[in-house]
Amino acid sequence: MAEKTIRLKRTSLYASGSSPVNMIQAVFYNEDMLIYDLEDSVPASEKDAARFLVYNMVKNHRPKDKYVCIRVNGIYSEYLEEDLQAAVRANPDAIRIPKVEYAREVKNISERIGAIEKKIGLEEGKIELICNIESYMGVINAMEIAHSDPRVVAMAVSAEDLTASLKAQRTKKGLEVFYARNAVLMACRAAGIDALDIVFSDINDKEGLMEDTALAKNLGFDGKTCIHPRQIDTVNSYFTPSTKEIKYALRVLAAVEEGKKNHKGAVTLDGGMIDKPMEFRALTTLAQAEAAGIHVKGMVM
Amino acid sequence: MKNAVGREIPEKIGRYVVKPYTGAYTESPSGEPVHTLRTAGKHVSGDCKMLPSIEEAVKAAGLKDGMTISFHHSFREGDEIVGQVLTAIRALGIRHLRFAPSAVVNIKNPSIVDFVKDGTIDRIEASGIRGELGDAVLEGLMEEPVILRTHGSRPRAIEAGELMIDVAFIGAAAADEYGNATGQIGPNACGSLGYSFVDVSNAAKVIVITDYLVDYPCNPASISQQYVDYVVKVDRIGDPDKIGKGAARMTKNPRDLMIAERAADVMAASRLFKDNFSFQTGAGAISIACTNYLAERMEARGVKASFALGGITAAIVDMYKKGLVRVLECSQCFDAVAARAIVEEPGIVEIDNAVYSNPFSKGSMLDKLNFGVLAALEVDTDFNVNILTGSSGEMMGGLGGGPDVAAGSDISIVCLPVVRGRTPSVTKRVFTCCTPGETVAAVVTEAGIALNPAHKYYAELKEDLEKANMKLVTIQYLQELAESLTGVPAPIETTDRVVCVVEYRDGTVIDVIREIKK
């Protein structure tokens, strides 16, 4: 797992495929993940035009320093096949699947992506998948979805549709989705993939966003989806590791390095075993620090 | 011939003899005494300056065919003085006037175009033209080219004898019957009348027009009775909703906020950001946001400014009230909050536009500026700035004080998005050059900050920004990025006929605008 590339996902921002201006502009904000959207933000009458625009944007003007996703239309929608055909050919880092409820849905999409990759000569399995969990069934099946396919690198909780499916009232505090957030988070941890938190909907409430992001970070999430570019810098700042966290990550990696030198199979630190997920987490911590402009090289451990 | 920014300029345009631009700081005043048409007057006790109508005042002032009339722009879009005066002049059959307001002409009802078409006006000298008039001029409405001047250049031109004003019409929010007038009180208070001082003290005749006549003496008085020939009370000087519009709200556009915050970061990272620094941030959406971000950084670092200059907004008044700025030197109030504050706060003072920006005076305040934040429509890879013409060549704005502020301030920061809609804003060559690149220190966009290697403070600003870990890019990078996103637009086709002359602040010609090919 240590060989896996670190791709930060502290912040995700959607840019509507039906808005060329939004797509151009989204490149310049500080989000780690830019999601070109073919689903909710695109009216039915513009689905084909949006697909064409997103294909061209990702193919020809893809931002170099971002994790680039395309959110396709729903699994059972009439648009999905054409979306997948265009999205795979555009070759993004990942395809984000909305409203995932069962592992078999993910497997099916992964196979369809594989077939297209093969047909056009792309490396098979390279395009990753992020599953949006947006219903009670998705939460119940989070564990099997997280483990459903090697392409799955993250799951994201989406609170709006989720609360509707729960018959719950959406509140700013978010107690109604607290369980769902944790259930998805634990499934991600079990599968060794990233967990992405819900959006904070009130774009004018910066304090509320700070409180909600602090909670997400403390619960263990790797990032949060932003509903508006104004939220990005605040969310990024919460996913910037503390000096203590950076120093611990450096110690973990130093211990791993030392173990490799001495050809040790098992490495320990402070009396505890260092496993692969811990090593990966340490690498992620350092990548988050670097992204925030913290120079970790030469830092005293 | 080609001028110093590489623009091809004719030697003569109609009756206008071109002095080509030679550099931002190369020209000097002639050394002659300043020109004025002001004459001595004589009044004795019991004399009355009040006249019953604008028509009567125009007659009394002796306005004749071919003369020059002037106005200030302090009522902004709410102004109804210009329309009333031109209507009265037309009724009197006076024609072929030179129309010389202090800023952009954008009155709609009645339209200036109608006064040009019927021959009341045949020359325009302003800081900009736009809307219906701008379109008509670009399509060849006028025989003589429109002369566009910066705020600083206008008082310079008046004193140099290039713009001699025969009759100055001064709209006043309040005035007394003997000519003392102000913008600071009354139902249509607009705050500072700073742009009219130079007109009042140099015109042959001065007519004050108000809808709010107060008992003598009007207090405060921005315009002194000693310069005023006649006073007219009208029913209405303008639209109160537009003259007294509230504070502009902070933009919510994330792109503009990002640019504004970066511009504030540039200032805060500079070694000039220390107690007693000075700044001018302006009134556009990015400017107001930048003012707020600057205030946050000043509070966080405990830094206080000595003065803020130029057009004042509620955001800057707020800084003053927090004790972050000692004095606001106010040539214009951009909103009702600023207009009210100038009356209430001792440290917010009305200043003469000539004191603010005239390059050929014995010292303008903007020469004391550390930071100037400027908006732009386009910037090119030589850092030349266009603030006049839009993507289709249309007239979008006025020169305002932008070129003056760029030349006067230590660090001038031009803020703009790299693309607007589907056209690039950072280009290889701006369509109209208004501000020479040598006076631009930094261009701040959402895609990065580019410093101008040819600017006098380049080395130290670069060092300061790098020390603050700010990512710098080249202007070429921004231009290539913009064009990679939008493609390269087809050039705007023009005829050879010059319809506008763009004067630099020293009176030389920095560019011309040619008629757009139909």
Which of A259, A184, A249, A256 lies closest to A222, judged by CA?
A: A184
Q: How far apart are the first and last CA of chain A?
A: 24
Could you tell me if B230 and B253 are in contact, meaning their C-beta atoms sit under 8 angstroms apart?
Answer: no
- In chain A, which residue's Cα lies nearest the Cα of B422? A21
Q: How far is the alpha carbon of B371 from chain A, nearest alpha carbon, in Å?
A: 25
Strand-pairing partners, residue B380, are B427
Considering only the beta carbons, identify the residue of A20, A27, A228 that sits closest to B254: A228
Angle, helices B254-269/B458-467, rounded to nearest 10 degrees = 110
| Cross-chain Cβ contact A28/B419 below 8 Å | no
In terms of DSSP H, where are the helices of B70-227? 81-91, 112-117, 131-138, 153-160, 197-202
Residues of B in contact with A230 (CB under 8 A): 252, 254, 257
Residues of A in contact with B255 (CB under 8 A): 25, 28, 229
| Cross-chain Cβ contact B258/A29 below 8 Å | yes
* Integer angstrom CA distances of residue A278 from A1, A147, A154: 10, 19, 17
pLDDT at residue number B15: 87
Q: What is the mean pLDDT of chain B?
A: 94
> In the 3-class helix/strand/coil scheme, how is chain A assigned residue by residue?
CCCCCCCCCCEEEEEECCCHHHHHHHCCCCCCEEEEECCCCCCHHHHHHHHHHHHHHHHHCCCCCCEEEEECCCCCCCCHHHHHHHHHHHCCCEEEECCCCCHHHHHHHHHHHHHHHHHHCCCCCCCEEEEEECCHHHHHCHHHHHCCCCCEEEEEECHHHHHHHHCCCCCCCCHHHHHHHHHHHHHHHHHCCEEEECCCCCCCCHHHHHHHHHHHHHHCCCEEEECCHHHHHHHHHHCCCCHHHHHHHHHHHHHHHHHHHCCCCCEEECCEEECHHHHHHHHHHHHHHHHCCCCCCCCCC
| Cross-chain Cβ contact A28/B446 below 8 Å | yes
Could you tell me if B228 and B191 are in contact, meaning their C-beta atoms sit under 8 angstroms apart?
Answer: no
Which of A73, A138, A133, A140 lies closest to A109, judged by CA?
A: A73
Considering only the beta carbons, identify the residue of A24, A230, A293 that sits closest to B419: A24
Give mean pLDDT, residues A250-269. Answer: 88
| Cross-chain Cβ contact A230/B446 below 8 Å | no
Which two three-digit tokens encode residue A44? 């039915």
| Cross-chain Cβ contact A28/B484 below 8 Å | no
Single-letter residue type at B36: T
Max Cα–Cα distance, chain A, nearest Å: 63
Edge-to-edge, what's the strand order for the sheet holding B121-126? B50-51, B230-233, B205-210, B167-172, B68-71, B97-101, B121-126, B146-148, B494-503, B509-516
Which two three-digit tokens encode residue A195? 């967990």
Using DSSP bridges, classify how beta strands B305-312 and B277-280 pair: parallel, antiparallel or unpaired: parallel
Ranges of residues in chain B whose predicted pLDDT is under 50: none
Which of A47, A23, A49, A52 lies closest to A36, judged by CA?
A: A23
Which two three-digit tokens encode residue B286? 């990015």
> Where is B353: in which H helix or E strand?
helix B353-357
pLDDT at residue number A301: 65
Burial of residue A213 (number of CB atoms within 10 Å: 0-12, 13-18, 19+)? buried
CA–CA dist B439, B234 (Å, integer): 44
* Integer angstrom CA distances of residue A4 from A68, A111, A279, A280, A283: 17, 22, 11, 8, 10
CA–CA dist B502, B137 (Å, integer): 14
Q: Which residue has the higher pLDDT, B151 or A173?
A: B151
Q: How far is the alpha carbon of A126 from chain B, nearest alpha carbon, in Å?
A: 27
The C-alpha angle with vertex B77 and arms to B80 and B256, in degrees rounded to 5, equals 175
CA–CA dist B448, B469 (Å, integer): 13
Q: What is the mean pLDDT of chain A?
A: 92
Token pair 């997280």: residue: A146
- In chain A, which residue's Cα lies nearest the Cα of B258? A29
Q: For B210-262, what is each residue's pLDDT tens digit?
A: 999 999 999 999 999 999 999 999 999 999 888 877 777 778 888 999 999 99
| Cross-chain Cβ contact B254/A229 below 8 Å | yes
Q: How far is the alpha carbon of B447 from chain A, nearest alpha carbon, in Å?
A: 6
Could you tell me if B342 and B364 are in contact, meaning their C-beta atoms sit under 8 angstroms apart?
Answer: no
> Where is B443: in which H helix or E strand?
strand B442-445
R_g over Cα of chain B: 22
Which two three-digit tokens encode residue A290? 């670097």
Residues in B whose CB is inside 8 Å of some CB of A read 252, 254-255, 257-258, 418-419, 421-422, 446-447, 469, 484-486
Beta strand segments in B72-211, E: 97-101, 121-126, 146-148, 167-172, 174-175, 181-182, 205-210
Give mean pLDDT, residues A285-291. Answer: 85
Chain A interface, best mutation among B249, B253, B255, by max A CB count within 10 A: B255
Token pair 């506008």: residue: B500
Residue B271 neighbours by CB distance under 10 Å: 11
CA–CA dist B400, A182 (Å, integer): 57
The CB-side HSE value for B474 (13 A sphere, CA atoms) comes to 8
Single-letter residue type at A115: A
Q: For B279-289, what is each residue's pLDDT tens digit?
A: 999 888 899 99
Considering only the beta carbons, identify the residue of B255, B422, B484 that sits closest to A25: B255
Considering only the beta carbons, identify the residue of A28, A228, A293 that sits closest to B447: A28
| Residue B100 DSSP SS3 | strand
Considering only the beta carbons, identify the residue of A61, A229, A230 that sits closest to B485: A61
Report whether pLDDT(A3) > 60.
Answer: no
Size of interface A-B (CB pairs under 8 A): 27
A124 Cβ contact list (under 8 Å, min separation 6): A114, A117, A118
CA–CA dist B269, B310 (Å, integer): 23
Give mean pLDDT, residues A218-243. Answer: 92
- In chain B, which residue's Cα lies nearest the Cα of A26? B255
R_g over Cα of chain A: 19
Residues in A whose CB is inside 8 Å of some CB of B read 20-21, 24-25, 27-29, 61, 228-230, 293
Token pair 């009040």: residue: B50
| Cross-chain Cβ contact A229/B255 below 8 Å | yes
Q: How far is the alpha carbon of B421 from chain A, nearest alpha carbon, in Å?
A: 6
| Cross-chain Cβ contact B255/A24 below 8 Å | no
Chain B interface, best mutation among A13, A14, A19, A24, by max B CB count within 10 A: A24
Q: How far apart are the first and last CA of chain B?
A: 26
- In chain B, which residue's Cα lies nearest the Cα of A56? B485
Confidence of residue A1 (pLDDT cuts 50, 70, 90): very low
| Cross-chain Cβ contact A61/B252 below 8 Å | no
Q: How far is the alpha carbon of B261 from chain A, nearest alpha carbon, in Å?
A: 12
Report whether pLDDT(A154) > 70.
Answer: yes
Residues of B in contact with A24 (CB under 8 A): 419, 485-486
Beta strand segments in B313-382, E: 325-333, 348-350, 371-375, 378-380
User: What dihedral do alpha carbons A272, A275, A278, A280 form, nearest 10°?
Assistant: 160
Considering only the beta carbons, identify the residue of A21, A29, A293 that sits closest to B421: A21
Q: What is the DSSP letter of B265?
A: H
Chain A interface, best mutation among B258, B419, B426, by max A CB count within 10 A: B258
Chain A interface, best mutation among B446, B471, B473, by max A CB count within 10 A: B446
| Cross-chain Cβ contact A61/B447 below 8 Å | no
pLDDT at residue number A180: 97
